[in-house]
């Protein structure tokens, strides 16, 4: 989670939590960061810090998916609260969250996404 402490985000945007506590991130910046379609990821909730962290992880159970937008492929990270991933600490549907995407900085710091409450 070390990437979240620096200010070198290649994408910094505000999103609204969707119905069913869902945050859907789709942007070409994910590919630039090293989180292209098919990349395995791990999602971790740090409720005590108010952070939902997504990191590239070759052993991850989830994968970055894709969507076609006007003929261009965009990577998608679809975060939805479920039994194994709770993130009520971010707020209810309609609340705003800040999404920051960080590029990989070597093996010790993989590409990552940090989601925090605004």
Which pLDDT belongs to residue 78?
96
The position carrying tokens 């609260």 is: 81
- Domain limits for position 101: 2-6+24-117
Q: Is residue 13 part of a domain?
A: no
**For the whole model, what pTM was predicted?**
0.88
Bridge partners of residue 25, in order along the sequence:
77
Q: Is residue 43 part of a domain?
A: yes
Q: Is residue 102 part of a domain?
A: yes
Number of domains in the chain: 1
**How far is Cα 98 from Cα 53, in angstroms, rounded to an integer?**
12
Q: Over the stretch 65-108, which tens digit does the pLDDT of each residue have?
A: 999 999 999 999 999 999 889 999 999 999 999 999 999 887 77
């Amino acid at each position: 989670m070390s990437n979240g402490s620096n200010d070198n985000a290649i994408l910094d945007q505000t999103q609204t939590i969707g119905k069913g506590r869902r945050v859907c991130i789709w942007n070409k910046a994910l590919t630039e960061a090293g989180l292209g379609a098919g990349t395995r990821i791990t999602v971790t909730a740090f409720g005590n810090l108010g952070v939902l962290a997504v990191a590239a992880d070759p052993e991850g159970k989830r994968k970055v998916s894709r969507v076609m937008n006007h003929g261009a492929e965009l990577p998608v990270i679809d975060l939805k609260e479920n039994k194994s991933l709770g993130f009520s600490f971010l707020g209810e549907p309609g609340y705003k969250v800040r999404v920051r995407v960080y590029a990989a900085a070597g093996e010790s710091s993989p590409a990552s996404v940090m989601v925090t409450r605004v």
